[in-house]
Every structure is written in C-alpha cells, then in structure tokens.
C-alpha cells in the first residue's frame, strides 16, 4: 500500500492524492488503510521517514567513521551530493522535492524534515572530522557541512529542472569544491 501511495504522491503530489486513490491502486480497502494510518498525513509521514532513512544509508557511514575509513567516508559524501549517480532515482528526487515543499506548509512534516536534516548534518560533521583528521575547528566544519547539504539539494533541483543537461561536468566541479574544502580543513586554511 505504501509503494502505491508513494507512486501516487510522486505523480500527483500529496494534496492531489486521496486515500480512495491509494485504496484503488493498492487493492487495500479504505477502512483497512484508516485502521493502519489515522490519516493521509500519517501515510505521508511514514513514506517521508522511510525514504529519508533509506537515502541516508547511515549504517554505511557509521561503519566507515568507526573504522576511520577515509575512502568509505568520502564515497558516502559523494553519494550524498549525487545520489542519482548510482541509482538514477528521478522519482525519489521528485518525491523529495514534494517533501521539501510540504515541509513549508505542514508543521509535522517540517518537524520530521528538521530532525532528519539535523541527523544528516551531524553525520556529515562526523564524516568531515574523519576526513580532516581532526585538524580543523568545529565552526569551519559546520560551514563545510552546510555547503555540502546546499550543493546536494541544489544539484537535485537543478537536475529536475534541466533534464537535458549533462550533469557529469557539474558533479565533477562540485566534488572538486568539496575536496578543496576538506583539504582546507585538514591544513587549517579555511
């Protein structure tokens, strides 16, 4: 049922999708949906949480951080900035854009998004600490973490708006910026 709801939300948005449509597409009776979820918003919340947890791949990052595995940490950052590189998940990007838009209107979704954003930021700070070998100052690391998040969101939106544009040169340029910023953290020249 959640997969059907997700597909409908991608195609029509949260507001233009009703529980009756989810029921018709999934084959799950409306009454059963309301027994499992108190409201359509609860379905949205479940999908938002599942998608964000899946996207984060926190276990992979935590393992790389715990083992001080710099190539593993760097690969996680690369995936974070350019998740479509491996998955080609245009639908996921469209849904994420819908989530961001909904977070501007819906306090509950905004709260979930803020919690997830804070978790991502914390994990990115931990990743940068490994990559900078702890030679930087926390405020400098915070700026780089915010820069990485901004570039990731910007690339996702740019890709959706400019489907005809070759992204590889842009992604490579963004990765060079990140590499320079990490080197600046490592050398203490922020």
pLDDT tier, 181 (very low <50, low <70, confident <90, very high otherwise): very high
Give percent of the chain with pLDDT exceeding 90. 40
- 152 and 141 belong to one structural domain: yes
Contact (Cβ atoms closer than 8 angstroms) between residue 181 and residue 151: no
- 95 and 164 belong to one structural domain: yes
CA distance 137 to 189: 10
- 84 and 24 belong to one structural domain: no
- 173 and 109 belong to one structural domain: yes
CA distance 40 to 161: 28
Q: How many domains does the chain have?
A: 2
pLDDT digits (tens, 9 = 90+) for 113-138: 888 888 889 989 999 999 988 777 88
Contact (Cβ atoms closer than 8 angstroms) between residue 81 and residue 178: yes
- 99 and 181 belong to one structural domain: yes
Domain span including residue 152? 39-187
- 109 and 149 belong to one structural domain: yes
- 84 and 132 belong to one structural domain: yes
pLDDT tier, 190 (very low <50, low <70, confident <90, very high otherwise): low
CA distance 9 to 16: 8
pLDDT digits (tens, 9 = 90+) for 91-113: 777 888 888 888 888 888 888 88
Distances in Å between the Cα of 97 and the Cα atoms of 104, 154, 180 are: 11, 11, 29
- Rounded mean pLDDT of the chain? 86
CATH of the domain at 14: 1.10.10
The token pair at 76 is 């996680």
Element (H, E) at 36: helix 30-36
pLDDT tier, 161 (very low <50, low <70, confident <90, very high otherwise): confident
pLDDT digits (tens, 9 = 90+) for 51-70: 777 777 778 888 999 999 99
- 47 and 124 belong to one structural domain: yes
CA distance 22 to 32: 11
Burial of 109 (0-12, 13-18, 19+ CB in 10 A): buried
Contact (Cβ atoms closer than 8 angstroms) between residue 109 and residue 45: yes
- 34 and 59 belong to one structural domain: no
- 71 and 111 belong to one structural domain: yes
- 56 and 6 belong to one structural domain: no
CA distance 176 to 30: 50
CATH of the domain at 109: 1.10.357.10
- 17 and 53 belong to one structural domain: no
């Amino acid at each position: 049922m959640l997969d059907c709801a997700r597909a409908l939300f991608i195609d029509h948005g949260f507001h233009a999708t009703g529980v009756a449509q989810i029921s018709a597409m999934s084959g799950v009776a409306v009454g059963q949906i309301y027994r499992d979820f108190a409201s359509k918003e609860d379905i949205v919340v479940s999908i938002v949480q599942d998608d964000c947890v899946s996207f984060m791949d926190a276990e992979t990052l935590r393992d790389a951080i715990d083992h001080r595995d710099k190539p593993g940490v760097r690969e996680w950052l690369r995936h974070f900035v350019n998740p479509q590189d491996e998955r080609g998940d245009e639908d996921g990007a469209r849904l994420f854009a819908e989530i961001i838009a909904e977070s501007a209107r819906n306090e509950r979704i905004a709260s979930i998004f803020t919690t997830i954003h804070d978790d991502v930021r914390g994990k990115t700070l931990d990743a940068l600490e490994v990559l900078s070998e702890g030679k930087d100052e926390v405020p400098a690391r915070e700026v780089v973490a915010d820069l990485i998040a901004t570039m990731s969101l910007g690339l996702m939106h740019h890709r959706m708006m400019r489907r005809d544009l070759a992204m590889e040169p842009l992604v490579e340029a963004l990765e060079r910026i990140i590499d320079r910023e990490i080197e600046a953290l490592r050398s203490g020249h922020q």
